[in-house]
Amino acid sequence: MKKVYIYKKFERFWHWTQAALIIFLALTGFEVHNSFTIFGFEQAVFYHRIASYMLLILIAFAIFWHFTTGEWKQYVPTTKKLKEQIRYYTKGIFKGEPHPTKKTTLSKLNPLQILTYLAFKVILVPLIVISGLMYMFYKTIDKNDVVIISGYELKTVAIVHTVGAFLLITFLIVHVYMTTTGHTPTSNIKAMITGFENLEEEDKENSETENKKNSITEK
């Protein structure tokens, strides 16, 4: 095993900040739904709105970073070893079988992760964002201080946003569980904190060129 620099600084910042914002949005969102009381309704609404703006800004920077660094290529779907990967997660992992795919700096995700994260980015996040914005701007005030009500049904938007929130929480729970399936239960979490991960020797050799580029970029 060799220690390889896998996750860049912004990638780690984006990952943890996004996770913190999603958890905080879920917390304030459920309080708005009167599931419990922590901040109080008005403060929960205020904090939820501020956190949503912060998430939008983070998403904008993340999109820019993905396309300017070429990291978007990590999410190009593939069916290569997809069946093997599904079998590994449903059977092989419980029998101690070796992982069917190898992680490198050029290929951080296995084929099942690619499909899952791609759906998260292009379906689930837009669903949450769009429904949230529609909910937020359902009522607006024009220059004459007249309240303008949007022409769509608020109840439908609220249901869609809530369903999206439950899906997002489900994704978060599964994601946390999947982090424990690395070489050790905490290796994936440590990698996302430090940027370094222990990979097999052959993976290190395949990643040397990319690591040099990453070092130059970080400097």
Segment 8-54, tens digit of pLDDT = 999 999 999 999 999 999 999 999 988 899 999 999 999 999 999 99
**Which pLDDT value is given to residue 76?**
94
Could you give the CA distance from residue 41 to residue 28 in angstroms, rounded to a whole number? Answer: 9
**Which pLDDT value is given to residue 70?**
93
Rg (CA), the chain: 21
Domain boundaries, the chain: 2-218
Q: How confident is the model at residue 147 (pLDDT cuts 50, 70, 90)?
A: low
Answer yes or no: is pLDDT of 203 > 70. Answer: no
The predicted model scores a pTM of 0.83
Answer yes or no: is pLDDT of 208 > 80. Answer: no
Shortest CA distance to 52 belongs to which of 213, 168, 177, 186? 168
Answer yes or no: is pLDDT of 122 > 90. Answer: yes
- Please report the DSSP string for 87-98 in residue order: HHHHTGGGTTPP
**Which pLDDT value is given to residue 204?**
45
DSSP state of 99: P
Q: What's the chain's average pLDDT?
A: 87
**Which pLDDT value is given to residue 109?**
92
Answer yes or no: is pLDDT of 209 > 80. Answer: no
Q: Is 160 exposed, middle or buried (0-12, 13-18, 19+ CB in 10 A)?
A: middle
Supply the CATH classification number for the domain 2-218: 1.20.950.20
